[in-house]
Amino acid sequence: MQEKHRFTWPHKDLLDVSQLSLDEVNHLLDTGEQFHEINRRPVKKVPTLKGKSVVLFFAEPSTRTKTSFDVAGKRLSADTFALTKSGSSITKGETLKDTALTLQAMNPDVIVIRHWSSGAAQYLAERLDCAIVNAGDGWHAHPTQALLDAFSLRNHWGRSFAGKTVLILGDILHSRVARSNVQLLTKLGASVRLCAPHTLLPAGVHNWPVTVHTSLDQAVQGADAVMCLRLQLERQQAGLLPDLSEYATTYCLTARHMAMANPGALVLHPGPMNRGLEIASELADRPESLVLEQVASGVAVRMAILFLHATRKDGGTK
């Protein structure tokens, strides 16, 4: 990245998409597009963040998000260090505060954190000087997933989402992906619908800027995109569902449902997918499915996020 940006990135941390203005979202996604091009080159590495260090602090299991950030950092020539719950002193009873202070003492430029506690990223952001990027905290927020979802949709729809309807389907209650996507998609101008059984809807959801459905047949009609959410299989044990086969019968997205959506409607899934439970297997592999495109978008968007936050103190230029 050689050109000077329009403005210095104003945020020390990325905790939730609610903190971003529409201009900032577009700036971030535009930056991601430039990095997307790098990912298609035969040599996918630039010296943009040479000398910068990024800690990947994943207290909760993750394959794709952690790998995506790792790849993003390495393609920008940052040094990336992984720290997992099992490999950290958290298992020895160390508090998040002490882990954070230990990490801070190593003077990284960015800490990417995934944690089981809602608010954990904010907790670190309030205490540490380096940039904190939220890679998922509890049920609260997953801003980078929402940004990469928007990035993928933008590739098909262009910059304005006005007139588009996105259905988010599945376990809304426990989904940080849903919360962040509701905020971002509505900010971009889309209409958002949610669909789940009552046991998987959050309190107060009827006051969100969405329409809420419990019937998938109704919810999917006229949708331009359907975003399936992963169902954690322990929800049945928690008494929220009678059994998984009944859930699949009622809420698994199938080709029959997509026939009721608008022509060319897109299908998204943050992964990992439970095929046949949340999404019919053949649907996941059809051209309308953006599942793999989301993964590619994720690297580009996370490159943009790391770039903007790691270079903020340098004036946002390289």
Partner 1 sequence: MSSPLIIRNALYLGQAVDIAVRGGVVESVTPHEAARRSFPADTAVHEAQGLKIFPSFADCHVHLREPGYEYKEDIESGLRAAAHGGFGAVMAMANTNPVNDNASVTQSMLAKARATWPHGPRLFPVGAATVGLEGKQLAPMAELAAAGCAAISNDGRPVGGAELFRRCMEYARTCGLIVIDHCEDPTLAKDTHMNEGETSGRIGVKGQSVVAESVQAARDILLAEYLQIPVHLAHISCKQSVDLIRWAKERGVPVTAETCPHYLLLNDTELVNYSPMAKVNPPLRTPADVAAMRQALADGTIDILVTDHAPHAEHEKECTLDEAPNGISGLDSAVPLTWTLVRDGVLSEHDFIRRWCHAPAEIFNLPVNRFAPGDPADFFLFDPEERWVLTPDAMHSKGKNTPFLGRMLTGRVKAHWLGGVRVV
Shortest spacing between CB 233 and partner 1, in angstroms: 18
* Footprint (CB under 8 A) of partner 1, residues 78-137: 95-97, 115-120, 122-123, 137
Q: Is 64 annotated as a binding residue?
A: yes
Q: Which is nearer to partner 1, 143 or 316 (CB)?
A: 143
158-177 mask for partner 1 (x: CB under 8 A)? Answer: ------------------x-
Shortest spacing between CB 47 and partner 1, in angstroms: 37
- Asked whether position 205 contacts partner 1 by CB under 8 A, the answer is yes
DSSP assignment of 30-88 equals: HHHHHHHHHTTSSS----TTTT-EEEEEESS--SHHHHHHHHHHHHTT-EEEEEESTTS
Nearest to 296 by CA among 75, 52, 61: 75
Measured between its terminal Cα atoms, the distance across the chain in Å is 6
Residues 203, 234, 249, 287: which binds partner 1 (CB under 8 A)? 203
Spacing of C-alpha 250 from chain mean position = 26
Q: Return the DSSP state at 200.
A: G
CA distance 183 to 186: 6
- Asked whether position 187 contacts partner 1 by CB under 8 A, the answer is no
Q: Is 75 annotated as a binding residue?
A: no
Q: Is 61 annotated as a binding residue?
A: no
Shortest spacing between CB 84 and partner 1, in angstroms: 18
Q: Which two tokens stand for residue 180?
A: 């962040």
- Asked whether position 19 contacts partner 1 by CB under 8 A, the answer is no
Shortest spacing between CB 240 and partner 1, in angstroms: 12
Q: Is 142 annotated as a binding residue?
A: yes
Match 């201009």 to its residue by tokens: 23
Directed axis angle between helix 120-127 and helix 96-105, to 10°? 50
Residues of the binding site for L-aspartate: 92, 176, 230
Q: Which residues bind partner 1 (CB under 8 A)?
A: 95-97, 115-120, 122-123, 137-141, 176, 179, 202-205, 207-208
